[in-house]
Amino acid sequence: MNKVQKKKKLHPFIPLNTSLRKKVADTFRVWFSRKRISERLIQGGSFQIKSLAEVYHDMLHIIWRYEIPMKYFFNEYFEERIHLKEHELEQFTTWSEWLRLSSILERENEELSIILNDKNLSWQYFRERGIAVTKRIGSSWRTGEGSVICRRYDGKTLRLEELLSLYEGVFVKPANLCEGQGCTKILPADKPEGCLANGVFHKWDSLDFFPCKQSEAFIIEKLVISHPSLEAFHPQSLNTLRLVTMRTPNGGLEISQAFLKIGVGTATVDNWCAGGISVKVQSDGTLNDVGVFKSLDKEKCFKHPDSGIVFAGFEVPFYREAVELVLRAHSCCPHMFGIGWDVAITADGP
Question: Tens digits of per-residue pLDDT, 94-151?
Answer: 777 777 777 777 777 788 888 888 888 999 999 999 999 999 888 876 555 556 678 8
The pLDDT score that the predictor gives to residue 211 is 53
CA dist., res. 52 & res. 34, Å (int): 8
Q: Is residue 350 part of a domain?
A: no
- Any residues with CB less than 8 A from the CB of 280 and at least 6 apart, and which? 258, 259, 287, 288, 290
The pLDDT score that the predictor gives to residue 75 is 80
CA dist., res. 15 & res. 93, Å (int): 11
Q: State whether 7 and 99 are in the same domain.
A: yes
The pLDDT score that the predictor gives to residue 81 is 80
214 within 8 A of 144, measured Cβ to Cβ: yes
Q: State whether 316 and 279 are in the same domain.
A: yes
The pLDDT score that the predictor gives to residue 317 is 96
The pLDDT score that the predictor gives to residue 213 is 53
Closest alpha carbon to 170 in 221, 219, 136: 221
Q: Is residue 176 part of a domain?
A: yes
Q: State whether 235 and 339 are in the same domain.
A: yes
What is the side-by-side order of every strand in the sheet holding 194-197?
Answer: 157-159, 148-152, 136-142, 218-222, 170-173, 184-188, 194-197, 200-203
**Which of 10-24, 43-57, 239-253, 290-304 has the largest mean confidence?**
239-253
Q: For the whole prediction, is pTM greater than 0.85?
A: no
Is pLDDT larger for residue 175 or for residue 112?
112
CA dist., res. 52 & res. 70, Å (int): 17
Distances (CA, A) of 62 to 30, 68, 69, 155: 11, 8, 9, 54
Q: Is residue 319 part of a domain?
A: yes
CA dist., res. 25 & res. 81, Å (int): 25
The pLDDT score that the predictor gives to residue 3 is 39
Q: Has residue 214 got a pLDDT over 60? A: no
Q: Has residue 177 got a pLDDT over 80? A: no
The pLDDT score that the predictor gives to residue 8 is 39
Q: State whether 265 and 122 are in the same domain.
A: yes
How does residue 11 score in pLDDT terms, banded at 50, 70 and 90? Answer: very low
The pLDDT score that the predictor gives to residue 206 is 66
Q: Has residue 32 got a pLDDT over 50? A: yes
Q: Has residue 93 got a pLDDT over 80? A: no
The CATH number linked to 290 is: 3.30.470
Q: Is residue 114 part of a domain?
A: yes
Q: Which helix (H) or strand (E) holds 41?
A: helix 34-42
Q: State whether 183 and 249 are in the same domain.
A: no
Is pLDDT larger for residue 293 or for residue 141?
293
How does residue 174 score in pLDDT terms, banded at 50, 70 and 90? Answer: confident
Q: State whether 127 and 7 are in the same domain.
A: no
Q: Which helix (H) or strand (E) holds 157?
A: strand 157-159
Q: State whether 41 and 87 are in the same domain.
A: yes
Q: State whether 176 and 49 are in the same domain.
A: no
Query: How many structural domains comprise the chain?
Result: 3
The pLDDT score that the predictor gives to residue 349 is 95
Q: State whether 89 and 28 are in the same domain.
A: yes
Q: Has residue 306 got a pLDDT over 50? A: yes
Return the biggest CA–CA distance within the chain: 74
How does residue 31 score in pLDDT terms, banded at 50, 70 and 90? Answer: confident
Q: State whether 174 and 272 are in the same domain.
A: no
Q: Has residue 221 got a pLDDT over 80? A: yes
Q: What is the residue range of 147's domain?
A: 136-222
Closest alpha carbon to 27 in 59, 51, 66, 55: 59
Q: Is residue 349 part of a domain?
A: no
CA dihedral for 29, 25, 99, 323, sign (positive or negative): negative
